[in-house]
Amino acid sequence: MPQMPAPATPPIGRLLLTGAAGTLGRVLRPRLKRWCTTLRLSDRGDLGAAADGEELQPAALEDRAAMRALLQGVDAVVHLGGISVEAAWAPIQAANITGVYHLYEAARLAGTRRIVFASSNHVVGFYRQHEVIDALAPPRPDTLYGVSKAFGENLSRMYFERYGIETVCLRIGSATPAPENRRMLATWLSFDDLERLVVASLTAPDAGHSIVYGLSDNVTRWWDNRLAAHIGYRPQDSSEPWRAELEAKQPAMAPDDPVRLYHGGVFVELGPYD
């Protein structure tokens, strides 16, 4: 259930949530409704029935006409849509490259002013776990998926510089109900902190173009959010209560195991798929 206090007056008019039928979309759907007058939901999957204050508008990201229709009348976007794991090049290109271009071009034409873009920690997956990095660290993607998210970050930067569309890029770690392994002691993002992160990104007075790492207040940290302090994200959960259980359940990995070496964990070994 939502943990943040509801605003007296929703600060956003029409908010679009793409990827609304996905795992995180289903988490955020009831939580975001309190922050807008109308919540427009889109996905290629089953969206169920519309609740009060909701609009259902399925669309494929690679369909330019559908995306232009989808953005009409939209004040802000939470973009979770697209491929969220490593895959073959063709679907990644269609959804995460062509699709994100269609989203931003449709936003420009519609006059949408802010987008919260679900990027990924896999943009920087080839940094080693002894390295603590901030938003200025050059991308070191670990997969085609990571490359596609780096593209989205760069495209959003261009749309901010040229057209003034503000974007907060969320380099999401591991958003799950509870941390599931040793790696997640560093990367875990609780669902409540996910809500806090997205709401802060939507409501920050001056977002500009920002990169924020999506993690809870974990003791083990590879990512430093000091350059995103203006967004106002304040995580309140931590992976620490699960440490003893996870360390007992999962044996220590060999020093040369990629899951122990790199931020991206097992992703550095995935693929190719074509």
User: Across the 274 residues of the chain, what is the mean pLDDT of every consecutive 10-residue run?
Assistant: 74 98 98 97 96 97 98 98 96 98 98 98 97 98 98 98 98 98 97 98 98 98 98 98 96 88 96 79
SS3 content of the chain, % helix, strand, coil (to 5): 40, 20, 45
pLDDT at 6: 74
The yes/no answer on whether domain 12-269 falls in CATH 3.40.50.720 is yes
Residues carrying an active site annotation: 145
pLDDT at 5: 80
Q: Are 265 and 258 in contact (CB under 8 A)?
A: yes
CA angle (213, 217, 219) in 5-degree steps: 110
* DSSP assignments along 180-210, one per residue: -SSTHHHHEE-HHHHHHHHHHHHH-S---EE
pLDDT at 147: 98
pLDDT at 3: 61
Give residue 164's Cα distance to chain centre: 21
CB-neighbour burial class of residue 56 (10 A; exposed 0-12, middle 13-18, buried 19+) = middle
Q: Are 203 and 36 in contact (CB under 8 A)?
A: no
Q: Domain ranges in the chain?
A: 12-269
